[in-house]
Structure 1
């Protein structure tokens, strides 16, 4: 770089990296398997990390959700999540049943809350260690997580609450902030994973050397209320961790208008691409998507890094859509045919339990783009009580106790005694 090309002293010059991994149930059966799967994603990213400038690595949505399978291979052998759920609940009955009765939540949420201490600790410590080892700013993806507060040196869980939550870490493994998903899909609501929607008013923007980060998890990036709030907060880098639970070339119709059925890639243009090409403050967006068949569920998509049309003038786009400016980097799909019916057929063949030779043969890979932003002006938001608790946990200054096992056993005994009395 010549002296005339030198950048302003406070200009932010960094690299964004999106990882598109493939998951399977086996990745979540043990602590070691989960750590290895998460580490493999940073290893995929390693050759794409820039030297001499900060790196932002963004992982995918709900990459901690299948930790409920940990230690129960029998649940995986059932083949479907519908059959696995009761097996998991029965295996963890002494811990899940008291949560069910005490907190008046569904069985699936009771199960997740009963296991949340171990899952949260494993997830956060794994991500912290990876951020430190690879020296990156890390958007950890997202995972189901309760709200916590500090009580002395212990984290205390808020009863009944379980958010789809993104955690942001700096290269020292310190907490930058967290964001909860506001708009849940039907699969995340009651009858599915049964998560708690996050409050819109709690969305904030986090200033960093890799941009003023705003997170819109999956469906949130399609919603104008979320994008408007992040733009009002000065967001310059939109992070959209994603897990699209359907064949990529299938059609969809989601709330608030389920009758608006269109090809998934067409719908996806209404998220990150639209936010960067038509928005105000948002200059770039990073949208990694996980692929792979997880038991009987199908996940597919095309990860992308988007920007303004003038930043990415080369026309290109998702399959089943017309080429257009705005894509700085785009993961090719498994096939680039011009025939829409051929693409839809390939999507069906990839899907879970299709029985075709191409079943589960998705494309994995890594995208990167070098990004530049002017000096930051966004103030650092004060940490929430929940963030203070997670920060203390990551620094080793507080512990996260598991659910007490004696009281669940007493509760279970009481329930059985009550049942026997009623029979008399």
Structure 2
């Protein structure tokens, strides 16, 4: 064998050995838990809406078990505070399940300093599956679409496993935030995906016995950062869920700013809004206006005059509940910093008596609104 060929073979073997070692490095340990503040509004009764606002970090997405453990901290804090009842509905934030796309990945994914870096590491660890998904993806942002499409089946399984277990362990109804999946559907009690289907931002609702309800909520108004890889869903056959606390409607983040989504909810008695607001420190900044189509009932002059937080309380759930059949609703925001993504927001609870906005803290929050019998 020629020397140059031996030399190339040695380099290839060394590179493969290095790659295998890098892939085999253990995932980082879970971070120390943040303090959790439990607050309540209203008079204690049989039913409540609970906004779970966890501080999430990349280490919480190393596996479905790590994810489950972090979220269980918040439900355990609620149980210790005595606020969980058989008629509790816990609402988790938007995109809390989306980052399970990184579960069981090589260490480099979690050590990346940016989302782009994490995506590159995930692609490098799965070159052939990624290539196939890239060919199947026709979205404007094909690179991002291919990653979520490639990992959809595993993401759906981890998402359902974690939230089903939490609902069953704590015997409550759970609005499981949201997750990006391809061709998501429910068959025989399982959330399944189709690699050739559209990518959508979806939310599932789990019953106190751990079963997933038979319909998925699909986001109708993706914001620009999502629109490159997720499709806008139709409002036809928009689901409303029967729960022990009453008929429940779910609006995913930006959908709560649009009157046609509320109209699609029909006779819902309670409303839940999983939300995710970026970047960090935007809550008190001037509101820039709608990044989705501007509804006719919102004055354009409010842009620049309201803060972001004031706009959430004026034009989203808090300002629109009175126009619906619902008696109460709650919005839960994602906390923490994932890679280079900051987050902001404070839970908003609203009923016929007014609006309660949670005090913002540096730790996690559990915000309880009692909604009567």
Indicate the TM-score class for this superposition, using the shorter chain for normalisation. Answer: 0.7 to 0.9
Aligned to 1:289: 333
* 8 Å CA contact retained: 1:75, 1:84: yes
Equivalent position of 2:196 in the other structure: 159
Distance 2:48 2:193 in 1: 37
| Aligned residue runs from structure 1 range 299-318, under 5 A | 299-308=343-352, 311=353
Partner residue in 1 for 2:13: none
In 2, Cα distance between equivalents of 1:46 and 1:296: 33
SS state of the match for residue 298, structure 1? coil
Measure, in 2, the Cα distance between the counterparts of 1:202 and 1:243.
Answer: 25
The Cα of 1:66 is off from its aligned counterpart by 1.5
Is the contact made by 1:61 and 1:242 (CA closer than 8 Å) also made in structure 2? yes
CA-based RMSD of the aligned residues comes to 2.4
Task: Kindly indicate whether the alpha-carbon contact (under 8 Å) linking 2:78 and 2:84 is maintained by their aligned counterparts in 1.
Answer: no
8 A Cα contact 1:29 1:72, kept in partner: no
Q: Which runs of 4+ in 1 moved over 3 A?
A: 48-53, 102-105, 148-151, 153-156
Q: Which runs of 5+ in 1 are unaligned?
A: 1-11, 312-325, 335-361, 374-424
- The SS at the match of 1:368 is strand
Q: What is the CA deviation profile of residues 288-310 of structure 1, one whole-angstrom value per residue up to 9, with x for unaligned ones?
A: 111112211111111122101xx
CA contact (8 A) 2:203 2:218 kept: yes
TM-score (norm 1): 0.68
Quick check: 1:206 aligned with 2:278? no
> Is residue 44–residue 365 contact of structure 1 (8 Å, CA) maintained in 2?
no
Question: For residues 265-280 of structure 1, what are the structure 2 equivalents within 5 Å?
Answer: 265-269=309-313, 270-276=315-321, 278-280=322-324
Q: 2:57 aligns with which of 9, 24, 46?
A: 24
- The equivalent of 1:340 in structure 2 is none
| CA shift for structure 1 position 84 | 2.4
**Contact 2:64/2:162 (8 A) holds in 1:** no
Q: How far has the Cα of 1:200 moved from its partner?
A: 1.6
Aligned residue in 1 for 2:168: 132
How many positions carry a matched residue from both structures? 311
Change (3 A) 1:117 1:363: same
- 2:211 is aligned, of 162, 166, 174, to 174
Deviation, 1:50, is 4.2
Residue 149 to residue 205, structure 1, CA distance change in 2 (3 Å)? closer
What is the distance in 2 between the residues matched to 1:158 and 1:69?
Answer: 17
* SS across alignment from 2:310: helix
The equivalent of 1:333 in structure 2 is 360
Deviation at 1:156, TM superposition (A): 5.8
CA gap 1:166/1:156 in 2 versus in 1, 3 angstroms = closer
2-structure distance, mates of 1:64, 1:154: 13
Deviation at residue 98 of structure 1 after TM alignment: 0.7
- Correspondence for 2:232 among 194, 197, 206: 197
Instruction: Report the equivalent of 1:95.
Output: 129
SS in 1 for 2:334: coil
Q: CA deviation at 1:62?
A: 0.5
How far apart, in 2, do the equivalents of 1:163 and 1:264 lie? Answer: 26
2 CA distance for matches of 1:39 and 1:285?
A: 23
Change (3 A) 1:115 1:204: same
Q: Measure the CA separation in 2 of the matches of 1:164 and 1:154.
A: 14
